[in-house]
Amino acid sequence: MAIARLNLFVFSDRSIQQAVSRLATHALSSRIQRTNRMRTLMKTKNLLVAALATSAAIALPSAAQAQAAVPGEGFIGVSAGVHSLGLEDEVEAVVPGLDIDDSSPIFGVFAGYDFPLGQSLFAGVEANYNFGTDALDGDYGASARLGFRGPGGVKIYGRAGYQAIKVDYNEIIDDDTVNFDAFDDTESDFLAGIGVDVPVGKAFVRANLDTISFDTMRATAGVGLRF
């Protein structure tokens, strides 16, 4: 679905070149900032891994018994949503008045497996692949999740992992006089999010809210099958 855009300015070739140059300089600065964020996020990731390991260690004495009562569970499904890159404020600061559209509908698939940790806790792994129609050509990645099983089998969880996104600058920057193919890039960073899976027979419906490097925001809903 194309998102309507409003052209605020008509740039000359020279102004476009200046804008691209400023955007490129800003992109380099952003990469340096992302590197610093990655160091902080890696520390956060290590803490999350340590927390997951601690939870697993606490649950190990009863995990073998729980395995028989609450077996592991695989799942697969489809999802749809919106992924916003959060670039508008940054671009406006570098090139005031430049019209951009930094969000995209996304449609994809996911699959994973959950392992019981005691009677109500569970840990799992999940992979996903999505394609986009506007600012994103697509994104894909994998994550670990940790949560608890509530009444009726409802699963509430947090997740952390790594996600790659392929950006389409021709869709982000609304100017038909310039081809930004050379700027198209695949970025990858730390993913963190929360979600809920609600069982409906052998199927389930889900909702997730994720962020990549605490810069982007991705909201999705989906349906799946358990096995």
- pLDDT 10s digits, 142-180: 999 999 999 999 999 999 999 999 988 777 776 666 666
Domain extents for the chain?
A: 13-226
Find out whether 55 and 146 touch, Cβ atoms under 8 Å: yes
- Give, as one character, the DSSP assignment of residue 37: H
Q: What is the pLDDT of residue 4?
A: 34
Find out whether 139 and 165 touch, Cβ atoms under 8 Å: yes
Q: What is the pLDDT of residue 28?
A: 47
Q: What is the pLDDT of residue 39?
A: 59
Q: What's the whole-model pTM score? A: 0.67
Q: What is the pLDDT of residue 22?
A: 60
Residue 108 to residues 77, 139, 168, 224, Cα–Cα distance (Å)? 9, 9, 18, 12
Q: What is the pLDDT of residue 154?
A: 96
State the DSSP H helix or E strand holding residue 139, giving kind and residue range, or none if neither. Answer: strand 136-149
Q: Quick check: helix, strand or coil at residue 87? A: coil
Q: What is the pLDDT of residue 54?
A: 53
- Topology annotation, domain 13-226: Porin (2.40.160)
Task: Return averaged pLDDT per consecutive 10 residues of the chain, 227 residues in all.
Answer: 34 50 54 56 55 51 50 94 83 67 92 94 97 90 96 96 89 71 78 97 96 93 96
